Structure formats: structure tokens, C-alpha cells
Chains A and B, each alone.
Chain A
Amino acid sequence: DFQLTQSPSSLSASVGDRVTITCRAGQAINIYLNWYQQKPGNAPNLLIYAASTLQTGVPSRFSGSRSGTDFTLTISSLQPEDFATYFCQQSYTTPHTFGQGTKLEMK
């Protein structure tokens, strides 16, 4: 299975901060990397697909980028509703696999 390593596993930040979460793929996966946000009691919510394409309805403060097998999710200016857990997921091949998650907490 394709391994995805997310970092950090947890992160403390304040409203207005710029936040970056990284996901490293164990092998080349082209652009087939997606990002989800999950809040307690809810299903994951697709934010970005194909490394950098913003899903419809997602605020523009979220962005994604790729450098080789390293992928980054950036939140340009944290809002109160952004405190949640974030997951990366590869759709390059089956079985599709997920990163272990990054919990973003309020400082």
C-alpha cells in the first residue's frame, strides 16, 4: 500500500495565523493527493483534490501545493471554524490510503 506520512501530528495556532501541514508520499503519486477536514462527530469534508484544486464551496484561504512527493496544505489566515483534524489521502491507486491526520488546536 502507498504510505502517506503527515506532519505534524498536532499543531497549536491562533486565529489569523498562517498554517502549513505536510504530507509525504512513500512513492511517486503524481498529483493524486487530496485533503480533507474533519470535525468531531462529522464525516470528512473534501477541501482540495488533485493536489491543488479547491473543491466547490471551500474558502479560498485553503490552498494546496506539490513538490515531487511532498504535498502541502496551507491555510492563509486561520478562522475559528478551521480548528479541526486534517487528513491527506492518495487517489493514485487502490487501495486508496490516508495519512494519520493532523489535529489543529487553538493556542
Chain B
Amino acid sequence: QVQLQQSGPRLVKPSETLSLSCSVSGGSISSHYWSWIRQSAGKGLEWIGRAAPSGDIIYNPSLTSRVTMSVDTSKNQLSLKLSSVTAADTAIYYCARDLRGGGGEWPDWGQGTLVTVS
């Protein structure tokens, strides 16, 4: 079974860049689609974007000007960067694996990282 382990700073200053990683074990990162999702008290659950095995990446239009996702196949690792953060970006951030080729159903999730912008 695929397991996802997240890492990254839990406190980010306003206007700086949030950076998170998600290490994948139990499967090849090249075989699946991957998403980042966040959850905040104010906005609930919000899909951030998705990376395909082909390398294609799509973002939520509400975040596209500030977000960068990448996939490092040599490390079997995903990454997320969100620039110019504000308090509104305070949330629990999750990485997740698609059940079936970009279908947008997520059976496997990372443990979540609470990132506070302050």
C-alpha cells in the first residue's frame, strides 16, 4: 500500500514562501496522479492542484498565480510551494494519491501538515 509522509516548516512569515514535501513509499511516484489539498476553518477543504505521471500539472485557478507543484522521480517525492502567503493560507496541507488516473478520488493521504502564517 502506498504511504505518504509529509515534511516542511509549520510556521511561515507573511509574504514568504510556504514549502512542503511529500515522500512516497510502497509505490512509484511515476505510476500515479498526485494532488495537494488544504483544509482551513474559513474555507473548508480546497483542492490546490494535481500532478500527472506525464509531468503535466494543473492548479486551482484561485491559486495559480502563487503555487508551484513538482515531482522528483529520483527521490519519489512531491513538493508544493506557495508564495506571498498571508494569514488566509493558514491551513492543514495534505498530499494525496489519485485512485485512478486523474479521477480525483483520493484513497491515500499524507498525515497532514498544519502550516501557520504568522
How many interface residues does B have (CB within 8 Å)? 22
Q: Is A80 an interface residue (CB 8 A)?
A: no
Q: In the complex, which residues 74-117 of chain B have their Cβ closer than 8 Å to any Cβ of chain A?
A: 94, 96, 99, 103-107, 109-112
A87 pairs with B60, CB closer than 8 A = no
Question: Is there contact, CB below 8 Å, between A98 and B61?
Answer: no
Q: How many A-B residue pairs have CB under 8 A?
A: 51
The complex places the Cα of A42 from the Cα of B44 at a distance, in Å, of 14
B105 touches A101 (CB 8 A): no
CB distance A91 to B104 under 8 Å?
Answer: yes
B62 at the interface (CB under 8 A from A): yes
Q: Scoring A residues 70 to 107 as 1 if CB is less than 8 Å from chain B, else 0, what string do you get?
A: 00000000000000000101110011111011000000
The reply to whether A46 and B99 form a contact with Cβ atoms under 8 Å apart is: yes
Q: Would you give 29 A-B contacts (Cβ < 8 Å), ordered by A?
A: A34-B105, A42-B112, A43-B96, A43-B109, A43-B111, A44-B106, A44-B109, A46-B99, A46-B105, A46-B106, A49-B103, A55-B107, A89-B45, A89-B104, A90-B104, A91-B105, A94-B50, A94-B60, A94-B104, A95-B47, A95-B61, A96-B47, A96-B104, A97-B47, A98-B44, A98-B45, A98-B46, A100-B44, A101-B44
**Smallest CB-CB A-B distances: 9 pairs:** A91-B104, A43-B109, A98-B45, A49-B105, A95-B60, A96-B47, A46-B107, A96-B104, A34-B105
Binding site for B on A (CB under 8 A): 32, 34, 42-44, 46, 49-50, 55-56, 87, 89-91, 94-98, 100-101
Contacts A55-B99, A89-B104, A96-B47 aside, 6 further interface pairs with beta carbons under 8 A come to A32-B104, A43-B112, A91-B103, A91-B104, A95-B61, A98-B46
